[in-house]
Structure 1
Amino acid sequence: MKILLVYAHPEADSFNGALRDITVQTLTELGHEVQVSDLYAMQFDPVSSRRNFTTVKNPDFLKLQYEEMHATEHAGFAPEVAAEIAKLQWADLMIWQFPLWWFSVPAILKGWVDRVFAMGSIYGYGHMYEDGMLRGKRALLSVTTGAGEQAYLPEGSNGDINAVLRPIQRGMLEFVGFEVLRPQIYYSASKVGQEQRQTWLQAWATRLAGIEQETPVGAGRY
């Protein structure tokens, strides 16, 4: 299986970094092909602009969707964007590894989506959700949180974790055709001890060993 790991954490020695490392190690040892987009290490620019493109459809007014469609037709994406689009098209499974910040993904990851989920290449008119261009591919969120699990229950202070993740899983991943697997969530990751982190890492490696057999759970509609 071909797997793309998109990693978004600024500290390489964080628990997110340990999850990144065990993911690559485990999947590689199992014989899968793995590519990693380490966004902070890449210094990926999250800001969409004309720098997304080497082609120009309308020099007088920038509408990103129109320029994306034009770039799709004329091989006109900037090299850093084209490389990430190619990874998406290559992968059978995409895993996002990130900390939950302000009830969403870090800005660098959202900017990666803004630039890389390009109209014409990744989605299009009539090519969304079940008919999305990336249908047949699967996606999985691996997320650390600051608050504990009780805070993310339906009656908790932060609300149901499934509702918190729905804009990501439904509005980004399923929108372009991905089938969504059950998210892997590590609550209060910065507050637990090393023994608990090791237990989590081992459990994650075990899950990855059977990831090909998992059934998508879906994000649920709004």
Structure 2
Amino acid sequence: MCDNRNILIVVAHPAPGSFNHALVGAMADGLRGAGHRVTVSDLAAEGFRADIGRHDMRDMADQDQFHIQAAQAHAARHDGFAADIAREQARVAEADNLILQFPLWWGGPPALMKGWIDRVLSYGFAYVDGRRFDTGLFRGRRAMISVTTGGTPERFSEGGAYGPIGPLLMPIRKLALEYMGFDVAEPVVSYGVPRTDDTARQAYLSAATQAALTQAEQPCERSDAWRTALDSVPEEAWSRKG
């Protein structure tokens, strides 16, 4: 069980004066006021790279070929991740609750958020073969997505121009967070932010804060399964059929 939580909020927006950052500030203030410890990863401010590559590792198992899962496994086994990835992985490892905050751009997250998922939630740290969903390495921990849109609720309705937002968030919700074992809350969506007035924005800030507080009241269990996950996985398990 987790009482006073360690909560990590990851925000991917380049403008510190954006409504995304206002949402982060409101959630962080509310959570801290309730006695929780909050860490904010401001990816743009911290100069986090979105692109995955050899720069992710301090040394390579194979200098001639770059296979991302093989390289990540080697780095996980030998403490070989680059400093920015190691910093973010340490934050994830300490977090009971994880909140991802980002705007919806072209039907998906900004490159910074996708890059954080690709680079930080890596093979050997956040997932390995045979450990997914109900047996995921972060089973017992909780996660939430908070997203802003330019489109109105009507545009994201069943009959709207864009359709429901759920399918757009599925790759992160199910194929990343749930895949890794997180218990994922319903997403918090702040619709049509550029078209809203101060009253509507205050309502969005309150809704996001309440959702974060509610999640912090739910049972959780933080295991260290990620530390030993590779011990039971054969070398190059990712390349085997079946």
Normalising by structure 1, report the TM-score. Answer: 0.93
Aligned to 2:114: 110
Q: How does 1:1-222 map to 2 (within 5 A)?
A: 1-214=5-218
Residue identity (%): 37
The answer to which structure, 1 or 2, has the higher relative contact order (CA under 8 A, 6+ apart) is 2
Q: Which portions of structure 1, spanning 4 or more consecutive aligned residues, are displaced by more than 2 angstroms?
A: 202-216
Normalised by the length of structure 2, the TM-score is: 0.85
Measured in 1, the distance between the counterparts of 2:44 and 2:206 equals 25
CA deviations over 1:160-181 (Å, ceiling 9, x no partner): 2111211110111111111110
Q: Any idea what the Cα deviations from partners look like across 1:179-208, whole Å, max 9, x if unmatched?
A: 110111011011101121112222333333
Structure 2 distance, partners of 1:159, 1:36, is 31
Amino acid at match of 1:144: T
Q: CA RMSD in A?
A: 1.5
Q: Which amino acid aligns with 1:145?
A: T
1:88 is displaced (CA, Å) by 1.1
Name 1:219's counterpart in structure 2.
none
Instruction: Tell me the CA shift for residue 134 of structure 1.
Output: 1.2
Number of residue pairs matched?
216
Q: In the TM superposition, what is the alpha-carbon distance from 1:215 to its structure 2 partner?
A: 8.4
State how far apart, in whole Å, the 1-side matches of 2:53 and 2:167 are: 31
Confirm or deny: 8 A CA contact 2:97 2:216 kept in the other structure.
no
Amino acid in the other structure paired with 1:201: L
Secondary structure at the aligned position of 1:152 is classed as: coil
Corresponding position of 1:220: none
